[in-house]
Structure 1
Amino acid sequence: MFFHIKELQFRAKPEKPDPVYARKLQEVLGGQFGEMSVMMQYLFQGFNCRADRKYRDMLLDIGTEEIGHVEMLCTMISQLLDGAPADQVDEMAKDPLIAAALGGMNPQHTIVSGMGAMPSDSNGYPWNSKYIISSGNLLADFRANLNAESQGLVQVVRLYEQTTDPGIRDMLSFMIARDIMHQNQWMAAIEEIEQLEGPIAPASFPREQTVEEATRQFLNFSEGEASSAGRWANGPLPDGTGNFEYVANPQAQGGVPELKPPADHQHSTPGTGPYIVNKGKLDK
């Protein structure tokens, strides 16, 4: 069961209406790295978790918190739209410099949602469940979670710098703090799992069934060798199975592919069908 508490987790009240900024906030609500994405990602990972109970509880704890963050953003967006006539925004946007800097009000806020938030990004593109990751492998999933929190924090910090409204900044400062906490949380969880199973996900695939030398080689496909100075090209592998090997001029090992003609033309006379067989190659 889920219980809804009427009070918000933190304050979400702007000083004045700003429909253009309401559109911008839609990105961190319904964009790829918005609060809807992390909410659904953590909840589905938790619902599907078959590992130690503490991981399931942790995922559901943070997923439930993210439901509250979605409500905070919806509340803020609705208040930013309150009392702000669209014609005033359209008048502002007539100046091409202002329009370029600010964008404009999302017309769907007046046409579709009745001056309320929507499950979409800042361009009105609907939120998509393809944004979320729930693979069942905790290490892989937790790394995806760390990425989601990192990308989300980058966007929230940029939005913080794009407003001087003290009410908006008040809410965003809290969300920034929680994103910092969540990054630390996922790094701690990743570290714990790596200590138990190692840093490779999944850890279960037998290493002897791989092309073993390829697990160590950094292949330089660019002009110059600047990449050779990186930690990823020298010293011990993080998984403890050997050392990095820098390959300056990797050589092709697969040979030239030769494809057979389509099955429905294999027995036709060359040159009579839509494909012409010429020395093992297909030409239209």
Structure 2
Amino acid sequence: MFRHTKRLQFEARPERPDPVYARKLQELIGGAYGEMTVTMQYLFQGWNCRVEGKYKDLLMDTATEEIGHVEMLATMVARLLEGAPSTVLAESVKDPVMAAVLGGMDPQQAIVAGGGALPNNSQGVPWNGGYIIASGNLLADFRANAAAEAQGRLQTARLYNMTDDPGVREMLRFNLARDTVHQKQWLKAIEELESDGLETPIVPNAYLDEENQDHNHTIWGLSDGTDGPKGGWSKGKDGLEYLTDPQPLGGPGTAPAPDPALYGTYSATQDAIGTVKGKAQAKAKKATGK
């Protein structure tokens, strides 16, 4: 059950209208790393969580907070759009929608939302449920959450530098602080999952003995340069081995002949060549045991 309190989590009142900035702020509402994404991500992770107690509570607490962030931003967008499309532009263009375009605001804010916020990003692209991650594995999900909060804070910081409005900046300072807390909490929750013995660093911690042991510790050096092996990931007892000249391990990627009814272009000769090469490579591999 959710309840709505008729007060904002933090004040969202600009000093003056700014329809151009209102459009920019839409990214923090309906962008891939906006507040709608983390709201729905944490809600579905919480609803799908099979571990009652502290982890589920953390997810639901944070998800509910993020709903409030959507409300704050939507309120700020509406207030930034006050009086838009601007009277001056509307006078000259004689069309408020065209005035909105020339004024830099999203015309859908005028056409669809009546001068309010939308569940869209800064380009007017609708929010997509495909942005969210809710896998059922808490370690994988918490890592995704920390990354989402980092991306969200990065975008908030960029938007902070795009305005000098004291009221907008005051709200964004609050948002920056909450994104800081959320990054910290997910990183600590990751540590606790491991210390509680619920998860180990590799997700999932299954099939570690069955996976190909020849290929679970090598980094394929497939780009120019020689600095990759200098990283800390190549050092120590758990270091990974850098392959400086990795070679392909499979045969030609020849697709099989298409169904005749599909009328795909097909060369029987080429297919035969691919098949012969593939069989020869398989035979050689079997003979050498590699």
TM-score, normalised by the number of residues in structure 1 = 0.86
Residue 61 of structure 1: aligned partner: 61
What letter is aligned with 2:25?
A: L
| Alignment root-mean-square deviation, CA | 2.4
In structure 2, the partner of 1:105 is 105
Identify the residue that residue 275 of structure 1 maps to in structure 2. 266
Counterpart amino acid of 2:228? Answer: S
Which of 186, 197, 200 aligns to 1:198? It is: 200
Q: 1:48-127 maps to which residues of 2 (within 5 A)? A: 48-86=48-86, 88=88, 104-127=104-127
Q: Distance between the aligned counterparts of 2:52 and 2:170, measured in 1?
A: 37
Deviation at 1:222, TM superposition (A): 1.5
Aligned counterparts of 1:180 and 1:54: Cα–Cα separation in 2: 20
| Secondary structure of residue in 2 paired with 1:246 | strand
2:208 is matched with: 207
Which residue type is aligned with residue 213 of structure 1?
A: D
Per the TM alignment, residue 274 of structure 1 is displaced from its structure 2 partner at its CA by 4.7
Task: Give the secondary-structure state (helix, strand or coil) at the position aligned to 2:185.
Answer: helix
The equivalent residue for 1:253 is 249
Q: What is the letter of the counterpart of residue 209 of structure 1?
A: E
Distance apart, 1:172 and its partner CA: 0.2
Matched, 1:262 2:258: yes
Instruction: Specify whether residues 18 and 231 from structure 1 end up closer, same or farther in structure 2 by C-alpha distance, changes over 3 A only.
Output: same
How far has the Cα of 1:15 moved from its partner? 0.3
In structure 1, what is the equivalent of residue 22 of structure 2?
22
1:262 maps to amino acid: P
Alpha-carbon distance in structure 1 between the residues aligned to 2:135 and 2:14: 39
Structure 1 89/157 Cα, relative in aligned 2: closer, same or farther at 3 Å? farther
| Consecutive aligned runs of 4 or more in structure 1 exceeding 4 Å deviation | 87-92
Cα deviation for residue 83 of structure 1 reads: 2.0
Corresponding residue SS for 2:214: helix
Aligned equivalent of 1:244: 240
Inter-partner Cα distance in structure 2 for 1:273 and 1:127: 37
Structure 2-normalised TM-score?
0.84
Conservation of the 8 A alpha-carbon contact between 1:89 and 1:105:
no
Change over 3 Å in CA distance of 1:274–1:165 after alignment to 2: closer
Distance 2:64 2:248 in 1: 50
Q: Identify the residue that residue 170 of structure 2 maps to in structure 1.
A: 170
The residue type paired with residue 192 of structure 2 is: E
In structure 2, what is the Cα distance between the partners aligned to 1:274 and 1:11? 63
Identity of aligned residues (%): 52
User: Gapped runs of 5+ residues in structure 2?
Assistant: 93-101, 275-290
Moved more, 48-57 or 26-35: 48-57
User: Which residue in 1 is equivalent to 2:98?
Assistant: none
In structure 2, the partner of 1:3 is 3
Q: For the Cα contact (< 8 Å) 2:86–2:103, is it kept in 1?
A: no
- Asked whether the equivalents of residues 109 and 117 of structure 1 are also in contact (C-alpha less than 8 Å), the reply is yes
Distance 1:258 1:75, change over 3 A: closer
Amino acid at match of 2:267: I
